[in-house]
Amino acid sequence: MTSRQFKPDTEIAQQKLLDEETLTISIEDTGIPYNPTLEAPPNYLDSPLEQRKIGGLGVYLAYQGTDKFLYERVGERNRNILIVNRCPSAVSSISNQSI
């Protein structure tokens, strides 16, 4: 997602929100419209490393590492929203620790 061609004046912003249930990361840019949810999964994952091309795994890894991956075009901005559900036991463990 971040290696796409950007114009020199492209703005990139991010937001993070952590609550009891989820971690949500929103990444926005003013680059050309690009919907990563339309990308097909890589078809070379079973190939030996020597035969794979460099790059091309970013969107795939984002899908694999999140519980939900959303894209929306808002005005002149691309917005990618990555959501990870928090483990209930980890949340209670953290909240029971003294800080």
Q: What is the pTM of this model?
A: 0.75
In this prediction, residue 59 carries a pLDDT of 87
Domain-wise residue ranges, the chain: 12-95
Chain segment 63-76, per-residue pLDDT in tens: 899 999 999 999 99
Rounded Cα gap, residues 79 and 38, in angstroms: 14
Centre a 10 Å sphere on the Cβ of residue 66 and count the other Cβ atoms it contains.
17
Determine contact, residues 70/37, Cβ cutoff 8 Å.
Answer: yes
Rounded Cα gap, residues 30 and 91, in angstroms: 35
Residues lower than pLDDT 50 in the chain? 1, 99
Cβ-proximal residues to 90 (8 Å cutoff; 6+ apart), any chain: none
In this prediction, residue 22 carries a pLDDT of 96
In this prediction, residue 95 carries a pLDDT of 57
